[in-house]
Amino acid sequence: MSTDPIPATEQARPIPGRFPGAPSLALTFIFAGVGYAFPLWLFAQDYPLNGPVSPEILNLNFLVAWMGLAHFVFAYSGQAKTLRRSGGSAPLLFGASLLIGGAILAFFRMRVSLRLFDAVIWVYFIPHFIKAELHFIKNCQPELCPNAWVLYWFPAVGFAFFTFALFGPISISFNTGILIAAAGLCIVAAFAGRVLQQLSEPAYAPFALLGFFFLGEGLVWGTYSKFMTPQFRQGLYVFHIAVASFYHYFRAYGFALRKMRWKNFGGYLLTVAAVNLGLIALGVCVAWHPAWRYAHYIFGLPYFTFWVGLHLISSDIFSGLRAGLRITSAPVTAAST
C-alpha cells in the first residue's frame, strides 16, 4: 500500500459520488415547504403587502428575510474577527468601505423603482452564491476551469433573463420569438466563455447547469405569464429566492461546523438556533405592529433587499481585503461568506 502523499490538486477535488450539500438541501426543502404551508400568519391582517402578495408567500418571504438577518449576524461576526486578527488598518478600511458602499446602495435604491432595485440585488446574489459554494467545497482550481468567470456571470445572466421574462413587458412574453432569441444570445455568450469545458468537469458542471436551468425556466414561465395572476408570478419568484437563500444559510452554518471539526457541535447549533429564533420572534412582533416605524427598516420586507445588497458588498470587500492581506483562514466560530 503506497504511503505517498496525495497531491494537493487531488485533495481539493470532490470525492466522486459524494454530495456535501445534501444535508443543507434537505433542510432547504423542509423550510421552504413549512414557510409556505405554515398555518398561522406571521404578520397582521392589515399588513400593506397582504393582498398584492398572497399570505402564504408573505409567510415564506418573511421567514427568508428574518433568517437572512441571522445569517448576516454570523457573516459580519466572522469577517470582523478575521480582520481584527490581521491587525493594522484593515478593520477601519473595511468599515469605511462598507459605509460608502451602503450609501451608494441607498442612493441607487432611492433613484430607481423598488422592483428594479430588488431584481438587481437578486441577480447580484447569484455570483455571491456560486463563489460561496466554490469556497465551501474548496475545488476552485484554475487548471480545471479555463475561464472561471463564466461560472459567476452565466448563471447571473440566466437569472436576469428569468426575472425579465416574469416581470418585463408582457408584450415581450407574448412574443416567444423574442424570448428564444434572447436565450440564444445568452447561450452563445456562454459557449464563447468555454462553458462546455465546465459542463464536462464534475466539480463545475452544477454551476454551469444553473445558468441553463434559468434560461429554460425563463422560456417556460415567460411564455406562460399571460395566464398568471400577479400573486402567482410573485410567488414563483419568491420561491426561487427562498430555496437559494435557505440553502446558502445552511451551507454556511455547515461550513463553519466543518471548520470547527465538529468540536462544538451542540453549542454552535444552539447559538445558531437562538439567533434565528430570536430574530424571527422580533420580526413577528414588528410585522404585527405597523406603528414600530423604525424597526421596519430592519425587519420589514421592502427593506430586506437593501440588507442583502449590503451583505453582498461586504463579502466582496472582505474577499478583496483578505486576498490583499494574504489571510488564509477565517475564524471557525462563524460563517463569513
Q: What integer is the mean pLDDT of 177-195? A: 91
φ, ψ of residue 329 to 5 degrees: the values are: -140, 150
In this structure, what C-alpha cell is assigned to residue 290? 405597523
The span from the first CA to the last CA of the chain, in angstroms, equals 40
Q: Is residue 27 packed enough to be buried (19+ CB in 10 Å), middle (13-18) or exposed (0-12)?
A: middle
Span 227-269, pLDDT tens digits: 889 999 999 999 999 999 999 999 999 888 887 766 777 888 9
DSSP state of 288: T
- Gap between the Cα atoms of 335 and 332, Å rounded: 7
pLDDT in tens, 85-133: 776 778 888 889 899 999 999 999 999 999 999 999 999 999 999 988 8
Contact (CB, 8 A) for 151 and 198: yes
Q: Which pLDDT tens digit goes with each residue over 21-68? A: 788 999 999 999 999 999 999 998 888 888 889 999 999 999 999 999
Closest to 252 measured CA to CA, from 28, 11, 15: 28
pLDDT for res 17: 44
- Supply the pLDDT for residue 336: 52
What digits encode the pLDDT tens for the residues 278-332? Answer: 999 999 999 998 778 889 999 999 999 999 999 999 999 988 887 766 655 444 4
Q: If 0-12 CB within 10 Å is exposed, 13-18 middle and 19+ buried, where does residue 276 land? A: buried
Three cell numbers at 216? 429554460
**If pLDDT is split at 50, 70 and 90, which confidence band does 141 have?**
low
Q: Could you identify the residue written with the cell 447559538?
A: 271
Q: Which residue has the cell 449590503?
A: 310
175 and 128 in contact (C-beta within 8 Å)? no
- What's the average model confidence in pLDDT over 183-189? 94
Entry pTM = 0.86
Cell 463564466 -> residue: 150
Q: Give the start-to-end residue ranges of the domains of the chain.
A: 24-31+48-325
